[in-house]
Structure 1
Amino acid sequence: MHMRQWLFAVSFLVSGACFAGTACPNFFVSGSNPSIDASLTPRTTEVCHTEYVLLASGVTKDPVYSAQHLTAAQVAGADSISRTGSFHQETGIPTADRSQDSDYTNSGYDRGHMTPAGDESTIDSEKESFSMANVVPQDHKLNTGEWAKIEAQVRNLATQLGEVYVVTGPAFDPDNIPTIGKDKVAVPEYTWKAVYEPGKGAAAYLCVNDDSITCDVVSLNDIKTLAGVDPFPALSSSMHSNPIGLPLP
């Protein structure tokens, strides 16, 4: 089935968007953090890190989203350091809302970064990306294959353009949400990565979270419908409905 067909098949009605303030507006287009469906708001906590921000959900034990203002300078810095981080609990959210590294052990899923470690320009910020609130249960073949290629492609765009804004997150099948571990971490049906190229427009990569390696480029409106998140609420309605041509790996 083509991506557009199954997107329509699994889409659900967004019951109403909610806006909240942010303590780290520098990561968002025009300082406006993503708007999210009212059903996603319970037990959410924003955590501002050095080079990214996440909105953690105590209900799913996943991020609602993870966001970056990714620059060419940051990518250059990232290329100059080695991967040294290790997964750790997110101390910036309540203990009851945290997932743990052990939840993923023998689960059959990878700890899939939403903001990639490979985007972080210093050792300290790279370590911050290994927060358990910045990962979701992700299919291993997807995580190490097409998703990793998409992450690299976004870094290439930041290098070419000088900057991009990125919001990444999970989307769930509301009728079937499996969980892993004693903390019942929700397993998403899809993962998505929305990209805004300043002065040009926006679109999102959307991947089925299984080993089929089914990924496509969709509009911001598609993400809003499927995930209940508007990644870039400051952008025009035209940019929301007309995706730019993000290159697929």
Structure 2
Amino acid sequence: MLGLLLLLQVLDSCLWLGHSEVVNSFDNCPQFFYDGIPPDGALNPTNPARICQRFRNSYHYATLYDRDRRIPVYSAYKYQPVEEKRPRGWWFLEPQLIDNCNLKEMKKESDIKKECKISQEVIKRSQAVDDDYKGLKDLDRGHLSPSGHMDKDVSKMATFTLTNIVPQDSTLNNGQWRVYEDKTMKKNTKDCKTTYVITGAVRGNTYISHERVNRPSHIWSAACCMLDKKPPKAWGAIAENDKNQVEELSLGELEDRLTELYGGRVTLFNNACPRE
């Protein structure tokens, strides 16, 4: 009898995992992390969701999501920019965060309501929705994995999910952070064969949308670049989310800064990426 109960528990676990890409690891999308290793546990929120961001049957990047604050902690991706126009379209949500909804990739809110037969109120329990970002003053929907760093149209579209978005200071988003994303990254990656990027947001003390969605105190990014027949190189950047200033740092300096902000030792890449 005990053996039968254990077998049923295992089967139940397998069925649950089969319903979702939101699990306790990034095992289905390790390719977005250097050497397949995500950042360590110091960044983990109390109630995390690890999302292999899936759209049109492919994975495009990975996100650690804070369910309680309804913002991503970070998104990890490969830097592969292609000069194309920003895609026009809609904002997606993540049905896999919703109980009793078996859709396996990001969808429009209207599609989730229809296919899962649920209301917006049910969806709002698990994540931020489009209404949370309407009517904001001096704040933008700030991408952690930006569409401009993706290599094809479908991947660019996949960045327009609210699990990849934080309330970002408008002046910063359209000013020095955009300079960093568009110009500094292009310059720094000139000789890189593959560049792994992790871009994140430090939880803040204020919220938007009736205390539903956290406004981060800082936005940060780190990169580790693989060079042909040379050791890797790495760098970082950080910005306070109420000033139009970006501080460029070594990877080690960024990890030290994040260690102070998160209250625990932060390691973003493994030891092969230089800290100096």
- TM-score tier by shorter-chain length is 0.7 to 0.9
Secondary structure of 1:40's aligned partner: coil
Deviation per residue, 1:60-96 (Å, 9 max, x gap):
11111100122xxx32xx2145432432222332342
Cα offset, 1:215, TM superposition: 2.8
Secondary structure of 2:87's aligned partner: coil
Aligned to 2:257: 222
Aligned to 1:93: 97
Summarize the alignment of residues 34-183 of structure 1 with structure 2, pairs less than 5 Å apart.
Answer: 34-37=39-42, 40-49=45-54, 50-70=59-79, 74-75=80-81, 78-94=82-98, 95=123, 96-108=125-137, 109-152=139-182, 153-173=184-204, 177-182=205-210
TM-score (norm 1): 0.76
Measure, in 1, the Cα distance between the counterparts of 2:42 and 2:30: 20
Aligned with residue 190 of structure 1, among 205, 218, 232: 218
Cα offset, 1:24, TM superposition: 0.7
Cα offset, 1:97, TM superposition: 2.2
TM-score (norm 2): 0.69
Measure, in 1, the Cα distance between the counterparts of 2:180 and 2:89: 21
Deviation per residue, 1:96-131 (Å, 9 max, x gap):
221112212222210000000111222211111000
Q: What are structure 2's unaligned runs of at least 5 residues? A: 1-23, 99-122
Cα offset, 1:139, TM superposition: 0.3
Evaluate the alpha carbon distance shift between residue 212 and residue 120 of structure 1 in structure 2; reply closer, same or farther with a 3 A threshold. Answer: closer
Q: What are structure 1's unaligned runs of at least 5 residues? A: 1-18, 243-249
**Contact residue 43 and residue 73 of structure 2 kept, 8 A:** no
**Contact residue 99 and residue 183 of structure 1 kept, 8 A:** no
**Contact residue 29 and residue 165 of structure 1 kept, 8 A:** yes
Aligned to 2:268: 231
Deviation per residue, 1:184-213 (Å, 9 max, x gap):
110011000011123233231000101342
Over the aligned positions, Cα root-mean-square deviation in angstroms equals 2.4
Evaluate the alpha carbon distance shift between residue 159 and residue 151 of structure 1 in structure 2; reply closer, same or farther with a 3 A threshold. Answer: same
**Contact residue 100 and residue 183 of structure 1 kept, 8 A:** no
Letter in 2 for 1:84: R
Cα offset, 1:57, TM superposition: 1.2
Rg comparison, structure with higher value: 2
Aligned identity (percent) is 25
Asked if residue 24 in structure 1 is aligned to residue 60 in structure 2, the reply is no
Measure, in 2, the Cα distance between the counterparts of 1:90 and 1:54: 11
Aligned residue pair count: 213
Measure, in 2, the Cα distance between the counterparts of 1:201 and 1:127: 29
Aligned to 2:103: none
